[in-house]
Structure 1
Amino acid sequence: MKHRPLALLGAMLLSTGLVACSSSGGDSDQDAGGTTVLDVWLMRDSVSETFQKEFEAGFEEAHPDIDVKIQIQEWAGTGEKVTAALASNDAPDVIEVGNTQVAQYAQSGGLTDFSGKVAELGGDSWLKGLAEPGAWEGKQYGIPYYAANRVVIYRTDLFKKAGIDATKIKTREQWLAATEKLNNNGVQGIYLPGQNWYTLAGFIWDEGGDLATRQGDRWKGGLDSPEALRAMEFYKRLQALGKGPKDSDEARPLQTEVMAKGQVAQVIATPGGANVIAQNNPDLKGKLGFFPIPGKTPHTPSAVFTGGSDLVVPSVAAHQEEAYTFVKELTGDAWQKKLALAMSYVPNKTTLASAVASDPGAAAMAVGAANGHATPNTPQWAAVEAKNPIKDYMTAVLTGRDPKSEAANASQSIATTLNSGS
């Protein structure tokens, strides 16, 4: 799933445009020296130019019989591009896709099944929020690549002035108390817009519920479960401690711009938001910190939505063995550590969390990522997000309407959409 922002992100003419630029197939499969040319699509901003060059050089030194050709693709229209590629006879050998997109591509039968390679790739320690959506009907098609998730970005100076130690905020109740204390010190304790549904999803998972569950061959919306209703009640309490709008999300207005104005002590966002805040208000440079979203108990942080990417190999790709070698290297421990440090990402395995210990934002993400989740694993989820009854439900509750009846209506809408593709 594209996580910039963590929302899910064209014409089919691209099937003759981008797909035609693939170097696989025919006599172009090998260069004059007999090495295999491996065509790889990575998405914009998943790697820096410096990291890309370092990886290509290192990989080709270790595998001199493979010549890697990485093409950077744009996130806009990615679904159409990949669908066209999988349906072509000239698909690239490896493609980066959003973690929640894997199901729609696997459903068509267009991806290589890596179920037999999971143990070899270290699958026992993969982040659940990347691994689970990378599987479809019991088979593993997407190999976890990198992750990102939301944390609390906070003003260190305002916390200090209020006498609050952020490192000691471990539970929801402690978080509420600290936010109220900030309010009493003349600032807005938190800016939380009413339709930040990814944050609500984390609270629902934290309570033991889900956005939707599958029962046999049918889906059931989960917003009206007792667990989800408790999560919404907590969201309402937290949102009330700030002045965020009840009828819009974190992009309208951009919450980083709101915090940059100087009167907001906290927002919930990916750590990169701190850079945007400081760019908008240079006076805040060096005054922004991070901590994981607190959970119900001090021992476990809140569940979070895991955004990020998986690597897939088209079933029609010409170089299956070489493609697997590429995937194994890029998702292996050595390059994952380097990627995490270079890009401030969370590595794909829980065992690698210490690799980002020197990066405060990424370190806070890594703590939360250990309790990461993904949206319901079905190709139809994109259609749910297109209408997004979750946002309307949240606004309805925050403006005083009955939570149970509104949750039932939203759950029915989710179920109808998901089951329309059954």
Structure 2
Amino acid sequence: MKRGLIAAVAVAGMMVGATACGADDGDGGAKAGPDGYKGQKLTVWVMSGSNPAGWTKTVSADFKKATGATVDFKVQQWDGIQQKLTTALSESTPPDVVEIGNTHTAAYAAAGGLADLGDLKKKLGADWSEGFNKSAVVDGKQYALPWYAGNRVVMYNKKVWAQAGIKGTPKTRAELFKDFDTIGKKTKAQPLYLPGQNWYFLDGLIIGTGGELVKKQGDKYVSNLGDPKVAKAMQIYKDYQAFSDAPKNKDEANPQQAQVFAKGDVGAIIAMGYEAATAVQANPKIKDDIGFFTIPGESADKPEGVFLGGSNLAVAAGSQKQDLAKEFLKVALSKKADGAMVSESGWAPKSPDLASFAKDNPAAQAEAPAAAKSSGVTPLIPQWASVENTPNPIKDYMTSVLNGKSPAAAAKAVEGEINKRLAQQQ
């Protein structure tokens, strides 16, 4: 069984060596400024779907204007990226700037593959919210900078809700479940499409109950899946899933839940804002029927707990163009560029002064309350990334509970595998 990020530790020595081989002046002696960088090309790896067209065009132009250099965006696929990025960062000529999922940043930093960006953080991100920046800091050092992040919201079919006679949007979980029940009784639509293995939604529920997925046992991290707070979150998930006919042994990507939603016979899905575009692409007629609202919590004063998922941008420790890479980050993470990510892609604003960019994006507006009040991430330890590798044992836990096994028994069945993965990087 391959463990892409486990391999990162094995090549840590190579990464350090690659760093040592890099030019001390960062850009082979090139001087800063448009004249000094003119004619140079910076290689930036971004993941498929991450860089919207408008943002990419503007950032490319602004970067060239500021430095005289050009940027070469290399789009990567999520499937297999962990191993591919691990290999690339260990080579003597790695990509200069890389996009890294915020749950995986700690692993690459611990392996020695990323440059320290603490000086740049002070210049760019004084007002970034802690929730966004938390995953970019490892052992007190800034190894990446937050690019974008978002949290799940309820994406609903306004036509279905109108057919059920529902007016307004729910403010509590109980009200939401009442609306789902009404849709089930008064329409032919499936109230909610929620497959059994939407793992990041469960993580948000765990954040909401105050649970933790790992705990310290001596000097090691071990699974905490058997904790009653985790069991409580899983019960909430089970309550949600009871309104759905989706398979209990699949995740939201198999099939793509937005494409299921696009058929028009589903009341709602728990979705990222960008999934609306996927639905419209599958069925353009549904465009005007799509609405969003914040996932309501137990009480009206606090939204449901949510996983703040997204990506960071980092500079490869082995890059020989680190100074130019930092100039790119100044452009790519400027207020102008960050605002475009909010308005164009619907990501949550990462600072208060970006809120205005969300005014024309309903998904971003729906994300903002939970992102500010009740968001969190997966355990920020290098060992965690290997736990999420396919096959993710937590997904097996979820399916088992949904099929009737007690949370305690389901947790016990997979904790051995979780602990095995955690131990491989300790």
Describe the SS at the equivalent of 1:285.
helix
Does residue 89 (structure 1) correspond to residue 95 (structure 2)? The answer is no
| Residue 164 (structure 2) pairs with residue 154 (structure 1) | no
C-alpha deviation, 1:230, in angstroms: 1.0
CA displacement 1:39-88 (0-9 Å, x = unmatched): 13141332234432322222333x34x41323223124433443333323
TM-score by length of 2: 0.84
In the aligned structure 1, how far is the partner of 2:198 from the partner of 2:322? 41
Task: Kindly provide the amino acid, as one letter, of the partner of residue 59 in structure 2.
Answer: F
* CA pair 382-166 structure 1, distance change in 2 beyond 3 A: farther
**Amino acid across the alignment from 1:360:** P
Counterpart position of 1:177: 178
Q: Classify 1:112/1:201 alpha carbon distance in 2 versus 1 (closer, same or farther; 3 Å).
A: same
Equivalent in the alignment of 2:279: 277
- Among 54, 58, 63, the alignment partner of 1:54 is 58
Shift in Å, 1:336: 0.8
Show CA shifts across 1:338-362 (max 9, x none).
2322333334335423311211122
CA deviation digits over 1:362-397, x for unaligned, max 9?
222333333332222233333322232212211211
Q: 1:397 to 1:91 in 2, by over 3 A?
A: closer
Q: Deviation at 1:229?
A: 1.1
Q: Is contact 1:159–1:166 with CA below 8 Å preserved after alignment?
A: no
* 1:328–1:219 distance in 2 versus 1, CA, 3 Å: same
Q: What are the superposed Cα offsets for residues 224-253 of structure 1, whole Å, 9 maximum, x if unpaired?
A: 212111111111111112222222222333
Per the alignment, residue 139 of structure 1 pairs with 141
Q: Is the 8 A contact 2:55 2:337 kept in 1?
A: no
The residue aligned with 2:125 is 122
CA RMSD of aligned residues (A): 3.0
* AA matched with 1:175: L
Q: Normalising by structure 1, report the TM-score.
A: 0.85
2:167 equivalent in structure 1? 165
Does residue 409 (structure 1) correspond to residue 413 (structure 2)? The answer is: yes
Partners of 1:393 and 1:267 in 2: CA distance: 21
Amino acid at match of 1:122: G
Deviation of 1:208 (Å)? 0.5
- 1:107 aligned to 2:92? no
SS in 2 for 1:387: coil
CA deviations on 1:302-336 (whole Å, 9 max, x unpaired) are 22222221111122333433332322332232221
Change (3 A) 1:48 1:404: closer
Give the counterpart letter for 1:162 in structure 2. Answer: A
Aligned equivalents of 2:203 and 2:418: distance in 1?
14
Q: Deviations over 1:177-220 (max 9, x none)?
A: 11111112133211111121211111111010122234553113
Query: Which position in structure 1 is the counterpart of 2:22?
Result: none
Equivalent AA in structure 2 for residue 135 of structure 1: V
Task: Answer yes or no: is the 8 Å Cα contact 2:306–2:375 preserved in 1.
Answer: yes
CA distance in 1, matches of 2:75, 2:196: 33
Residue correspondence of structure 1 range 349-364 to structure 2 within 5 A: 349-364=351-366
**Which deviates more, 49-58 or 27-36?**
27-36
- Partners of 2:107 and 2:385 within 8 A in 1: no
Count residues in correspondence. Answer: 400
Helix, strand or coil at the partner of 2:123: coil
SS at match of 1:311: strand
Inter-CA distance 34–262: structure 2 relative to 1 (3 Å threshold): closer
Q: Secondary structure at the match of 2:73?
A: strand
Distance 1:282 1:328, change over 3 A: closer
Does 1:291 find its partner at 2:275? no
Query: Displacement of 1:412 after TM fit?
Result: 4.1
Which residue number corresponds to residue 309 of structure 1? 311
Rounded Cα–Cα distance in structure 2 between residues aligned with 1:362 and 1:204: 23
| Identical residues among aligned pairs (%) | 36
